[in-house]
Structure 1
Amino acid sequence: MRKDVWWRPPSIRAGLVCGSIAVAMGGVAVAAEYGDWSAPVSAESLPGSSTSVNTPSNDGCPILNPYDGSLYMASNRPGGYGGLDIWIAPRSGAGWGTPVNAGPKINTAADEFCPSPARGNRFFFVRRLSATDTDIYVVKDLPNKGFGTPQALPRGADAINSPYEEWSPSWFEADGHEYLYFSSTRVGAPRQQIFYSVDLGPAQMAQGGVHSSASDARPNVRHDGLEIVWDSTRTGTLGGPDIWSSTRTSVYDAWGTAVHLENGISSSGNDTRASLSWDGTRLMFGSTRPGEGSADIYTSTRSKNGH
C-alpha cells in the first residue's frame, strides 16, 4: 500500500465486506425520510451567486465541499490550462462566488473533471490520459501551501483504475471503512457501469437498481451510503441521459429500484453528474437544456424529516 495515497489500508474485515457474506455483518441503518425535490434553478440565480458560475462555455460536474460549502466544478471556460479544468467557487450568501481555477497542480492541458471533496483535506478527480483512458486521482489541500502533488489510485485490471475510462469518484465512510464509488467502461466499452471499492481494494460491480443494459454513469452516494444518484440512458429517459436515484437500508444491501427524477430535474437535454449535499437536502447537476451556455449547473432542494 502506497502511503502517499492517504487511505486506510485494507483489513480482513474489509475483505468480508466485499464478499458474499457481507450482509451478515453490522447493523441495518435506517434511511432518513425526505420530501420531494423542488423544480431546479440555475445555480447562479441564487442570492449571492456570481454571474460567472455559469458561462457560455461548458460548465458541469458540480459538487459541494461538505466542510466549507464551496462549489467544485469542471469547465472549459477561458483562463484554464486546456480542455476541461476544475474550478472552485466559494460559498457566497445562498449561492457561490466567482469560480477560481484550481491551478497547475490539478489542471493540465488534458481534461480534468468530476471533482469530489473528501475528509482529510482531500479531493478526488478524473484526468484524461487518452481518448479511451481516464484515471482517478487524489490530492491533498495542504494548510497554507495549497494543493500537493496528485496521486493516481491503484491501477490494474481489477483495480480502481483500469486501462479503460473511470469517471465520477464518490467517497463516503461506513462501519469503519472507506468506500469509493465510480463508473467505468471496463466491461463492454463504451458503456459505463457503476463500480465500487472498499479501502482501496479491488473494483466490484454495484448490484441492484443501478445496473441496467444501458449506460449508467457518474454516481454520487450520500454520505451515509444509503442513497445514490447517477445519470443513465436506460429506458424512461426524456432525451439524453437523465438523473436517476436509488436507496437501500444498509451499505451491505444491493441498491433498490431506480427512480427517475422528475419535476424538471430530468429534461430532453443531457442531464449528468448529479451530486447530493452532505445532508441530502440539495441536488447539484449539469444540464445541456437551453440556458446560458453549452452546459450549465442547476440545483434543486428538498426537506428532511418533514422540516
Structure 2
Amino acid sequence: MQRINRQFAAGLAGIAALCAAPSLAQQFGPWQPPVSAESLTGSSPQLNTPATEGCPILDPYTNDLLFASNRDGGAGGLDIWRAPWLGDGWGEPVNAGAPVVSSENDYCPTPVRGRTLFFVSRRDEPNGDIYVVKMRPNGYGAPERLPEPINSPAQEWSPSFFIAEDGSRVLYFSSTRDGGQDIFASVDGAAPVKIAALNTAADDARPNVSHDGLEIVFDSNRGGGAPDIWTSSRSSTSVPWSTPQPVAAVNSPAGESRASLSWDGTAMVFGSTREGGDGGADIYVSTREKITGPKIVRPK
C-alpha cells in the first residue's frame, strides 16, 4: 500500500506536456492491482459510501477527484461531487451544486483544460444528453446542451475531449442511437462517426481518451457477463486504434465501469461493484510507472 501511495502521489505531482508519443509500450509499465480510493493515505473516509459512487475522473489542473453519486446530501438522484487532492489522497467530497447539479440525474463529469466541464444530465431529456459549462473562479457558468447531431433522443454518455495532432477538436462519447451502447467521435462539432475498431455487437461504453489522443479506456461486456475495462492505443491520432484488450490487472468478476486516465497517464480511476467495497459501486485507483516520454510540466 505504501508503494502505491508513493507512486500515485509522484505520478500526480506534475502533469504531462501535450505531445505525441511513438509507443505506449515504451512509455509505461503495467497497471498495478487497484485499491479503494479512500484507502490512500490522507483520503477522506467519505469518498466511498453505501450509496453508489461512479464515473470518476481527475481534474487536469488540480488532480481533484470528480465523480457521480446518489449519496445523502445531494439534490436527488445522481449528483456530481468534487473531492480536493491533498497531496497524498482526496479530502471530503463537496457537491458541485447548481447550476451543474439539478433535481434530475447528473453524471459523467469530464473536466478539461480551458476550465471547461463536460457532463451528462437528464434535466431536459430522459435518456441523458451532454452539456458543457465553464468553470469560473466564483463558480460555474450556465450549462449549455450540445446541439444535435452530437446529442440525440437516445442515450449519450461519458464525453471525452482532446485536441488531435492536426489541431482538430475531438469529442468521444458513447450512445445508444444505433441500438446498444457504441463509441462515437465528433470532430470539430461535425456529425458523430462510430469508431469501428472499438465497437462490437456487445455494449461498448463510457470511453475516456488520454490527453494526447493515443490511448483509450472504456468498459464493455464483450467478454460476457459484467462489464470490464478495455484499452486500445495508436501511434498517431491519424491512424486507427489497435485491437482492444482487457485490462486484466483491474478487472474482477464484478462490474467495472467508466475508467479514466490521469493527465500524465500514470493513474486510472474507475467504478467497481467488487467485493470488499462499501456497499454499492465504489471508486478504485490503479497506477503504473512512466518509463519514457515527455518532460512533466504543470499547465498554466
**Is the shorter-chain TM-score for this pair beyond 0.5, marking a shared fold?**
yes
1:153 aligns with 2:146: yes
SS at match of 2:122: strand
How many Å apart are 1:162 and its aligned residue?
Answer: 0.7
Deviation at 1:30, TM superposition (A): 1.6
Please give the alpha-carbon distance, in whole angstroms, between the structure 1 residues aligned to 2:124 and 2:116. 25
Over aligned residues, Cα RMSD in angstroms? 1.7
Q: Describe how 1:124-139 pairs up with structure 2 within 5 A.
A: 124-129=118-123, 133-139=127-133
Quick one: structure 1 residues 148 and 180, their matched pair in 2 at CA, closer, same or farther if it must change by over 3 Å? same
Q: 2:240 and 2:110 mapped to 1: Cα distance?
A: 23
In the alignment, is the contact (CA less than 8 A) between 1:81 and 1:104 conserved in 2?
Answer: no
Compared with structure 1, are the counterparts of its residues 29 and 36 closer, same or farther at alpha carbon in structure 2 (3 Å cutoff)? closer
> 1:129: how far off?
4.5
Contact 1:207 1:254 in 2 (8 A): no
- Once residues 51 and 59 of structure 1 are traced to their aligned partners in structure 2, the CA distance between those partners, rounded to angstroms, is 13
| C-alpha distance after superposition, 1:52-90 (max 9, x if no partner) | 011111001000001011001000000000100000000
Aligned pairs for 1:223-242 (under 5 A) are 223-235=211-223, 237=224, 239-242=225-228
SS of alignment partner, residue 254 of structure 1: coil
Given that residues 60 and 73 in structure 1 are in contact (C-alpha distance below 8 angstroms), is that contact kept between their aligned partners in structure 2? Answer: yes
Residues 262-305 of structure 1, C-alpha deviations (whole Å, 9 max, x = no match) = 12x11111100000011111000000112112110000000112
Q: State the partner residue of 2:251.
A: 266
- Separation of aligned partners in 1, 2:194 and 2:136: 33
Q: d(CA) in 1 for partners of 2:154 and 2:28?
A: 37
Determine the structure 1 residue equivalent to 2:48.
54
Question: Cα deviations across residues 147-186 of structure 1 (Å, max 9, x unaligned)?
Answer: 011000112xxx1101100000001112212111000000
Q: What is residue 95 of structure 2 aligned with on the other side?
A: 101
Task: Confirm whether residue 193 of structure 1 aligns to residue 161 of structure 2.
Answer: no
Residues 39 and 306 of structure 1: CA distance in aligned 2, closer, same or farther (over 3 Å):
farther
Matched, 1:215 2:206: no
Equivalent residue, structure 2, for 1:68: 62
- Structure 1 match to 2:112: 118
Q: C-alpha separation between the residues in 2 aligned to 1:194 and 1:306?
A: 29
User: TM-score, normalising length from structure 2?
Assistant: 0.87
**Which residue number corresponds to residue 21 of structure 1?**
none
* Contact 2:102/2:123 (8 A) holds in 1: no
Q: Give 1:257's aligned residue.
A: 243
**Is 2:103–2:123's contact at 8 Å kept on the other side of the alignment?**
no
Structure-1-length-normalised TM-score: 0.85
Residue 128 of structure 2 aligns to a residue whose secondary structure is strand
Instruction: Indicate which of 142, 154, 173 corresponds to 2:163.
Output: 173
Identity %: 54
Q: Does 1:298 align with 2:284?
A: yes
Maintained 8 Å contact 2:269/2:286: yes
Q: Unaligned 5+ residue runs, structure 1? A: 1-27
Matched, 1:90 2:84: yes
The answer for unaligned runs of 5 or more in structure 2 is 1-19, 294-300
- Take 1:176 and 1:115, find their aligned partners in 2: how far apart are those partners? 24
Provide the C-alpha distance between the structure 1 equivalents of 2:130 and 2:292, rounded to a whole number of angstroms.
37
